[in-house]
């Protein structure tokens, strides 16, 4: 089943809703869409869970308004989806930028409807380096992505893919994944990159009051592993699950472990 949910006047999000049972909500990373979770779309309903895949505003099959690409607004969008679908006791799973939005949702909306949180290669608590935060990417690297999006977005995404995958994908997979990035609005891609560069979630972490799994690749070149350690320090009930053979794309680099850890976390508790 697919939904088009109006999150503010004239702006609708596309939401894939498959299966029944406990809801598991997926928030994708920059600049793709919910289709990146295709293995979870196939697996979770078979295991008795309800897959909820959200295309964030500006991405995939969702509307692409000119505004609203900050974490506050995207967290508000998620609140509308959770309320409209009446989701309760959900597991919220955020990858990369989606992880950052999930953190802001937990802080701003008190985690309404969410009983567990999975942060997967999350772009948090701060994506870029600053005077009081030595981790993450230099801000100029993100400026380079923005300049590349203006000049030749398709080629910029090819270059970004070289950093994204820890294990080289097949030509077919690489082409498919690149196409997901090209489904995004160019303005959404640029504005979200600015948000990634500038937002700071450090004060949000202590508000998270649910069990949290931090799934992170040891060799992540986009969201370095040190970010996972900073998140664990800030979230009271958090456990890091390192993916020793993964870069940023832990869902691709170690797909069986990714599904096993996620299913175990959804079902009961994380055991390393």
Secondary structure, 3-state, 135-161: CCECHHHHHHHHHHHHHHHHHHHHHHH
Which pLDDT tens digit goes with each residue over 235-262? 999 999 999 999 999 999 999 999 999 9
> Which letter does DSSP use for residue 22 in this model?
E
What percentage of the chain exceeds 90 in pLDDT? 97
The sheet with strand 238-243 has its strands ordered as: 2-8, 11-18, 49-54, 22-27, 90-95, 114-120, 212-217, 238-243
* Cα-only R_g, the chain: 17
> Residues 6 or more apart from 133 whose CB is under 8 A from it?
126, 202
Q: How confident is the model at residue 268 (pLDDT cuts 50, 70, 90)?
A: confident
Q: β-strand 11-18 against 2-8: which pairing, if any?
A: antiparallel
Distance CA 140, CA 125 (A): 18
pLDDT, mean of residues 44-51: 96
Total domain count, the chain: 1
Question: Judging by beta carbons within 10 Å of its beta carbon (0-12, 13-18, 19+), is residue 229 exposed, middle or buried?
Answer: middle
Q: What is the dihedral of CA 20, 26, 31, 36, to 10 degrees?
A: -50
Would residue 142 count as lying in a domain?
yes
Whether 22 is covered by a domain: the verdict is yes
Bridge partners for 4 per DSSP: 14
Report the chain's mean pLDDT, rounded to a whole number: 96
Q: In this predicted structure, what is the pLDDT of residue 17? A: 98
Q: Which residues contact 154 (CB under 8 A, 6 or more apart)?
A: 178, 182
Residue 269 confidence (pLDDT) above 60: no
Coil, helix or strand for 217? Answer: strand
Note whether residue 250 is domain-resident: yes
Instruction: Return the residue matching tokens 């959404």.
Output: 188
Q: How far is CA 101 from the centre of its chain?
A: 7
- Is 272 a domain residue? no
Residues that are catalytic: 96, 220, 248
pLDDT digits (tens, 9 = 90+) for 85-126: 999 999 999 999 999 999 999 999 999 999 999 999 999 999
Q: Are strands 114-120 and 212-217 parallel, antiparallel or unpaired?
A: parallel
**What CATH number is attached to the domain comprising 239?**
3.40.50.1820
Is the separation of the CB atoms in 109 and 87 below 8 Å?
no
Structural domain harbouring 150:
2-267
196 located within any domain: yes
pTM strictly above 0.85? yes
pLDDT of residue 270: 38
Lowest-pLDDT range of 22-31, 143-152, 161-170, 216-225: 161-170
pLDDT at 272 over 90: no
**Token reading at 250:** 């832990």
């Amino acid at each position: 089943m697919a939904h088009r949910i109006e999150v503010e006047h004239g702006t609708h999000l596309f939401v894939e809703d498959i299966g029944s049972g406990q809801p598991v909500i997926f928030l994708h990373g920059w600049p793709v869409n919910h289709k990146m979770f295709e293995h979870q779309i196939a697996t979770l309903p078979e295991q008795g869970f309800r897959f909820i895949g959200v295309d964030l505003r500006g991405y995939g099959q969702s509307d692409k308004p000119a505004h609203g690409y900050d974490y506050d607004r995207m967290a508000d969008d998620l609140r509308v989806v959770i309320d409209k679908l009446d989701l309760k006791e959900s597991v919220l799973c955020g990858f990369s930028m989606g992880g950052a939005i999930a953190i802001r949702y937990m802080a701003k909306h008190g985690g309404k409807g969410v009983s567990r949180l999975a942060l997967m290669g999350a772009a948090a608590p701060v994506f870029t380096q600053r005077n009081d935060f030595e981790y993450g990417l230099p801000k100029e690297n993100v400026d380079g992505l923005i300049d590349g999006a203006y000049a030749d977005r398709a080629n910029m995404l090819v270059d970004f893919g070289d950093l994204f995958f820890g294990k080289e994908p097949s030509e077919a997979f690489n082409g498919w994944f690149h196409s997901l990035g090209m489904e995004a609005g160019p303005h959404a891609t640029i504005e979200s990159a600015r948000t990634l560069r500038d937002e700071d979630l450090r004060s949000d972490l202590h508000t998270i009051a649910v069990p949290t799994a931090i799934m992170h690749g040891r060799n992540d070149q986009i969201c370095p592993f040190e970010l996972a350690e900073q998140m664990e320090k800030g979230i009271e009930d958090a456990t890091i699950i390192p993916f020793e053979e993964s870069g940023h794309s832990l869902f691709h680099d170690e797909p069986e472990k990714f599904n096993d850890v996620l299913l175990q976390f959804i079902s009961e508790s994380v055991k390393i």
